[in-house]
Amino acid sequence: MFVSLALVGGLLAGCSGNGNNSGASGGTEGASGEKAEKKVTLTFWRNSGNDAENSAYDKLVASFMEKYPNIKVEMSPIPYSDYDTKLRTSIASGNPPDIMAIDAPNMASYAHAGALKPLTSYFQADGDLQDIPESTINTYTYNKEIYMSPLTESSIALFYNKKLFEEKGIPLPSKNPEEPWTWDQVLDAAKKINDPGKGIFGIDPAQGFNNAGATAYFKYPIVWQFGGEVMSPDGTTSKGYLDSPETKKALQFFSDLYNTEKVSALEYPPDPFPNGKLGITVDGSWSLSYLTEKFPNFKLGVDYDIAPLPKGTRQAVANGSWALGISAKSKNPDEAWKFVNWVTSAEGQKTYVGITKDIPVRYSAAKEFPELNEYPKNIFVVQDQKFGRSRPITPIFPQMSEAVNKLFEEVTIGKRNIDAAVTDAIQKIDKAYSDLPAK
């Protein structure tokens, strides 16, 4: 079942103004004339995570209710596969949760539909904005309003097989997050490592061809690194951006890895990197624990190492993860902000990250964990803080992302003419925006 945000927007249009009928200082006068705080129950929906994530949220909810005994938080973890549909259905039916977790790229569609309460004034009052990178705040901003409060980040970097590099006499990349290799250097190394006869491939540049969301996270940075763009800053069109010479150069380079240089493959054997069948891969911070757990004999610093993402003309990495927003229909938005601010504050992030081992968004929280300020995790942290960029902030993100995913497939797998493929992608994206119901 899919509930469109066009339907959500239509239903919300007749329900606006219901979100501000109580404040944090609300209460009732007692016989003595003293103001007694009212009892409030907040509903909080989030996608259910792994055991560590669930434990971290349990601890944060419990500590919040201990601090604010008059506010009860009813948390509902919902399986990831069902979450978005259930959330959209609850909004369309007029019964959304007070607080909701939303993945960063989907924020604009919810905000455009009027489903989220702007948080800008709350942040300005006590959200400690200066503790969050500006590029991160921009990721949760739509039409000049902040709509969500971020908790953690993830990031991607260049993973390379150290032994294969040494066997081929290839100098090792710098571990300094601000001294990346160029893509030309990466290609040169991949060509030297590539050995089809032995089943060894040079590079997987962007985790193959998965769903559109993976395309956005892994492939858009390549476009940015070559100086290109995907959409206009206001998220309304791809014309003049996806068809720029810089973007086309990035697409050509990506396609050439497979079709001209032949250092990348459309299919790889299982776990090619730790099994010595892949010299270079672009992978996420989450893979460190996976490699440690599943391949204990494939050791960081001995068998493989990590370097910052390559650049063409500039450094860039996609930012944005799951964050917390407040329903536009919440009857207790001020109390909801108290909870959101509690969870995503520096102390909240330290509690959460101390359990999950994720990367906190706030500068101050990141400084509290020595491992985040040392190799290899400092690479992910510094990239996010200094070179992070939001994926296009647009209410048609799913349609846009699908069109760009198809574009990468057509020029690489289908070997289609780049100009023709780009023109079709722009038409799909711009039509999706023109079909968007007015707010």
Same domain for 93 and 177, yes or no, is no
Residue-level pLDDT at 438: 76
Alpha helices in 68-106 (DSSP H): 80-92
Q: Give the orientation angle of helix 51-67 with respect to helix 333-344, to 10 degrees.
A: 130
Which of the residue ranges 38-52, 159-173, 212-226, 260-274 would you say has the lowest mean pLDDT?
212-226
pLDDT category of residue 437 using cuts at 50, 70 and 90: confident
| Nearest to 95, CA basis, from 45, 38, 20 | 45
Residues 225 and 366 occupy one common structural domain: no
Same domain, 237 and 164: yes
- 3-state SS, 18-77, equals CCCCCCCCCEEECCCCCEEECCEEEEEEEECCCHHHHHHHHHHHHHHHHHCCCEEEEEEE
Domain membership of residue 173 (yes or no) is yes
d(CA 101, CA 79): 12
- pLDDT level of residue 3 (50, 70, 90 thresholds): very low
Whether 161 and 249 map to the same domain: the answer is yes
Q: Are 278 and 272 in contact (CB under 8 A)?
A: yes
Rounded mean pLDDT, 172-177? 98
Of the ranges 29-33, 46-50, 152-156, which one carries the lowest mean pLDDT score?
29-33
Residue pair 351/343 in contact (Cβ under 8 Å)? The answer is no
Q: Which residues contact 98 (CB under 8 A, 6 or more apart)?
A: 42, 43, 44, 326, 327, 330, 331, 332, 333, 336
Average confidence (pLDDT) over 184-190 = 98
Which residue is it, tokens 């590539």? Answer: 194
- Decide: helix, strand or coil at residue 99: strand
- Same domain membership, residue 209 and residue 286: yes
- Are residues 126 and 12 part of one domain? yes
pLDDT of the residue at 332? 98
Domain that includes residue 359, residue range: 5-154+321-390
State residue 439's pLDDT score.
Answer: 67
Overall number of domains in the chain:
2
Nearest C-alpha neighbor of 341 from the set 185, 129, 163, 195:
129
The verdict on 297 and 352 lying in the same domain is no
345 pLDDT higher than 70: yes
Confirm whether 111 is domain-assigned: yes
What is the b/e burial string over 71-87, where b = at least 16 CB atoms within 10 angstroms of the residue's CB?
A: bebebebbeeeebbebb
Instruction: Please indicate, yes or no, whether residues 294 and 326 belong to a single structural domain of this protein.
Output: no
Instruction: Find the angle CA(142)-CA(148)-CA(154) to the nearest 5 degrees.
Output: 105
| Averaged pLDDT for residues 71-80 | 97
Report which DSSP code applies to 415.
-
Cα 277 to chain center, whole Å? 29
pLDDT of 285 over the 50 cut: yes
Q: Does residue 15 sit within a domain?
A: yes
Report pLDDT for 4: 45
Q: Is the pLDDT of residue 27 over 90?
A: no
**If you average pLDDT over residues 397-401, what whole number do you get?**
95
State whether 328 and 359 are in the same domain: yes
- Are 274 and 145 part of one and the same domain? no
What are the counts of helices (DSSP H) followed by strands (DSSP E) for the chain? 17, 17
Residues of the chain with pLDDT > 70: what percent?
A: 91
Q: What is the pLDDT of residue 146?
A: 98
**Does residue 439 lie within any of the structural domains?**
no
Assigned domain for 407 exists: yes
> What are the φ/ψ torsions at residue 157 (nearest 5 degrees)?
-150, 180
220 falls within a domain:
yes
Cβ pair 385, 131 in contact under 8 A: no
Q: Domain ends where: 358, 375, 390?
A: 390
Please report the pLDDT score of residue 8 as a whole number: 46
423 part of a folded domain: yes
CA distance 325 to 97: 10
Shared-domain flag, residues 361 and 287? no
Q: What is the pLDDT of residue 24?
A: 39
Phi-psi region of 291 (alpha: psi -120 to 50; beta: other; left: phi over 0): alpha
Q: Percent of the chain scored above 90 by pLDDT?
A: 88
CATH of the domain at 64: 3.40.190.10
Considering the entire predicted model, what is its pTM? Answer: 0.90
| 59 in the same domain as 29 | yes
Helix 418-434, helix 245-259: angle, nearest 10:
120
**Least confident piece of the model among 25-29, 88-92, 158-162, 335-339:** 25-29
- Which pLDDT does position 173 carry in this prediction? 98
Question: For position 36, what pLDDT does the model report?
Answer: 56
Residue 281 placed within a domain? yes
Please state, rounded to an integer, the average pLDDT across all residues of the chain: 92
- What's the pLDDT score for residue 19? 37
Helix, strand, coil content of the chain in percent (nearest 5): 45, 15, 40
